[in-house]
Protein backbone atom coordinates (compact mmCIF):
# COMPACT_ATOMS: atom_id res chain seq x y z
CA UNK A 1 0.00 0.00 0.00
CA UNK A 2 1.96 2.94 -1.29
CA UNK A 3 -0.54 5.46 0.05
CA UNK A 4 1.42 5.81 3.29
CA UNK A 5 4.90 6.47 2.01
CA UNK A 6 5.89 10.05 2.61
CA UNK A 7 2.92 10.78 4.85
CA UNK A 8 3.51 12.41 8.18
CA UNK A 9 3.05 9.77 10.89
CA UNK A 10 1.48 12.08 13.43
CA UNK A 11 -1.47 10.58 15.24
CA UNK A 12 -3.80 13.23 13.82
CA UNK A 13 -2.85 12.42 10.24
CA UNK A 14 -3.14 8.68 10.75
CA UNK A 15 -6.55 9.18 12.35
CA UNK A 16 -7.77 11.18 9.34
CA UNK A 17 -6.40 8.59 6.95
CA UNK A 18 -8.06 5.76 8.91
CA UNK A 19 -11.38 7.59 8.93
CA UNK A 20 -11.28 8.07 5.16
CA UNK A 21 -10.30 4.44 4.70
CA UNK A 22 -13.24 3.22 6.79
CA UNK A 23 -15.65 5.47 4.89
CA UNK A 24 -14.38 4.17 1.54
CA UNK A 25 -14.64 0.53 2.64
CA UNK A 26 -18.24 1.04 3.75
CA UNK A 27 -19.10 3.00 0.60
CA UNK A 28 -17.61 0.28 -1.66
CA UNK A 29 -19.96 -2.25 -0.08
CA UNK A 30 -23.01 0.05 0.02
CA UNK A 31 -23.09 -0.20 3.80
CA UNK A 32 -24.58 2.51 5.99
CA UNK A 33 -22.07 4.77 7.75
CA UNK A 34 -23.16 3.46 11.15
CA UNK A 35 -22.05 -0.10 10.26
CA UNK A 36 -19.41 -1.40 12.64
CA UNK A 37 -15.95 -0.91 11.17
CA UNK A 38 -14.71 -4.41 11.95
CA UNK A 39 -17.72 -5.84 10.06
CA UNK A 40 -17.09 -3.68 7.00
CA UNK A 41 -13.37 -4.48 6.97
CA UNK A 42 -13.77 -8.20 7.54
CA UNK A 43 -16.38 -8.61 4.79
CA UNK A 44 -13.74 -7.89 2.17
CA UNK A 45 -10.69 -9.09 4.15
CA UNK A 46 -9.19 -5.62 4.58
CA UNK A 47 -7.19 -4.47 7.59
CA UNK A 48 -6.91 -1.01 9.12
CA UNK A 49 -4.24 1.13 7.44
CA UNK A 50 -2.13 1.15 10.59
CA UNK A 51 -1.84 -2.64 10.31
CA UNK A 52 -0.56 -2.32 6.73
CA UNK A 53 1.94 0.34 7.85
CA UNK A 54 3.15 -1.86 10.70
CA UNK A 55 3.56 -4.83 8.40
CA UNK A 56 5.57 -2.82 5.87
CA UNK A 57 7.88 -1.46 8.55
CA UNK A 58 8.45 -4.94 9.96
CA UNK A 59 9.17 -6.31 6.48
CA UNK A 60 11.69 -3.53 5.94
CA UNK A 61 13.27 -4.33 9.32
CA UNK A 62 13.59 -7.96 8.24
CA UNK A 63 15.25 -6.92 4.99
CA UNK A 64 17.73 -4.74 6.86
CA UNK A 65 18.53 -7.53 9.29
CA UNK A 66 19.05 -10.03 6.45
CA UNK A 67 21.33 -7.71 4.46
CA UNK A 68 24.89 -8.89 3.94
CA UNK A 69 26.84 -7.65 7.01
CA UNK A 70 29.63 -6.32 4.79
CA UNK A 71 27.34 -3.90 2.96
CA UNK A 72 27.47 -0.24 3.95
CA UNK A 73 23.71 -0.11 4.61
CA UNK A 74 23.98 -3.03 7.03
CA UNK A 75 26.86 -1.44 8.93
CA UNK A 76 24.97 1.85 9.22
CA UNK A 77 21.80 0.06 10.33
CA UNK A 78 23.65 -1.93 13.00
CA UNK A 79 25.39 1.19 14.32
CA UNK A 80 22.09 3.03 14.61
CA UNK A 81 20.36 0.01 16.12
CA UNK A 82 22.97 -0.41 18.84
CA UNK A 83 22.92 3.33 19.55
CA UNK A 84 19.12 3.23 19.77
CA UNK A 85 19.11 0.16 22.05
CA UNK A 86 21.52 1.93 24.43
CA UNK A 87 19.35 5.07 24.75
CA UNK A 88 15.90 4.62 23.15
CA UNK A 89 14.35 7.77 24.59
CA UNK A 90 16.67 10.10 22.66
CA UNK A 91 15.79 8.84 19.17
CA UNK A 92 12.97 9.37 16.70
CA UNK A 93 12.13 7.93 13.29
CA UNK A 94 12.19 4.39 11.97
CA UNK A 95 13.81 2.54 14.89
CA UNK A 96 11.53 3.87 17.64
CA UNK A 97 8.52 3.18 15.39
CA UNK A 98 9.65 -0.39 14.78
CA UNK A 99 10.42 -0.93 18.45
CA UNK A 100 6.92 0.31 19.35
CA UNK A 101 5.40 -2.00 16.72
CA UNK A 102 7.42 -4.96 17.99
CA UNK A 103 6.12 -4.24 21.49
CA UNK A 104 2.56 -3.96 20.20
CA UNK A 105 2.73 -7.46 18.71
CA UNK A 106 4.94 -8.96 21.49
CA UNK A 107 7.90 -9.42 19.13
CA UNK A 108 10.65 -7.44 20.89
CA UNK A 109 12.44 -10.70 21.71
CA UNK A 110 13.33 -11.10 18.02
CA UNK A 111 15.13 -7.77 17.81
CA UNK A 112 16.85 -8.33 21.14
CA UNK A 113 18.00 -11.75 19.90
CA UNK A 114 19.35 -10.12 16.74
CA UNK A 115 21.27 -7.49 18.70
CA UNK A 116 22.87 -10.15 20.91
CA UNK A 117 23.66 -12.79 18.28
CA UNK A 118 23.57 -10.96 14.90
CA UNK A 119 21.20 -13.71 13.73
CA UNK A 120 17.71 -12.70 12.69
CA UNK A 121 15.10 -15.22 13.85
CA UNK A 122 13.26 -17.23 11.22
CA UNK A 123 9.48 -17.20 10.88
CA UNK A 124 8.89 -20.26 13.08
CA UNK A 125 10.90 -18.70 15.93
CA UNK A 126 8.78 -15.53 15.76
CA UNK A 127 5.57 -17.55 15.98
CA UNK A 128 6.73 -19.79 18.78
CA UNK A 129 6.52 -17.10 21.46
The secondary structure of 19-71 as a DSSP string is HHHHHHHHHHTT--TTS-HHHHHHHTT---HHHHHHHHHHHHHHHHHHS-TTS
Asked if 58 and 31 sit in the same domain, the reply is no
**Cα separation, 116 vs 40, whole angstroms:** 43
Q: What is the pLDDT of residues 55-108, one digit of tens each?
A: 899 999 989 988 888 899 988 998 888 888 888 777 778 888 899 899 998 888
Note the pLDDT of residue 88.
74
Q: Are residues 104 and 122 in the same domain?
A: yes
Of residues 3 and 14, more confidence is placed in 14
Number of domains in the chain: 2
- 2: in domain: no
Distance CA 22, CA 16 (A): 10
Q: What percent of the chain has pLDDT over 90?
A: 7
For residues 32 and 71, state if they share a domain: no
What is the predicted pLDDT for the residue at 1? Answer: 43
Q: How far apart are alpha carbons 44 and 46 in whole angstroms?
A: 6
Together in a domain, 59 and 117? yes
Q: What is the DSSP letter of 129?
A: -
What is the model's pLDDT at position 125?
A: 65
CB contact set of 51 (below 8 Å; sequence gap of 6+): none
Q: Provide the greatest CA pair distance for the chain.
A: 55
pLDDT at 33 over 60: yes
Q: Which domain holds residue 24?
A: 9-46
Based on the fold, state whether residues 108 and 58 are members of the same structural domain: yes
Cβ neighbours of residue 43 closer than 8 Å, sequence gap 6 or more: 29
C-alpha to C-alpha distance for 119 and 58, rounded to whole angstroms: 16
Q: Is 9's pLDDT higher than 90? A: no
Is residue 106 left, alpha or beta, with left meaning phi > 0 and alpha meaning psi from -120 to 50? left
Looking at every residue in the chain, the average pLDDT score rounds to 81
Please tell me whether residues 73 and 112 are part of one structural domain: yes
Using the predicted structure, report yes or no on whether residue 128 has a pLDDT greater than 70: no
Q: Which residue has the higher pLDDT, 34 or 90?
A: 34
Res 126 pLDDT > 80: no
pLDDT at 72: 93
Amino acid sequence: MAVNYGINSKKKHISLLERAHRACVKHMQNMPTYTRTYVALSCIAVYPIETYRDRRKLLFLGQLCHTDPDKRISILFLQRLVKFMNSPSTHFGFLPDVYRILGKYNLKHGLEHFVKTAVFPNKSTWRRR
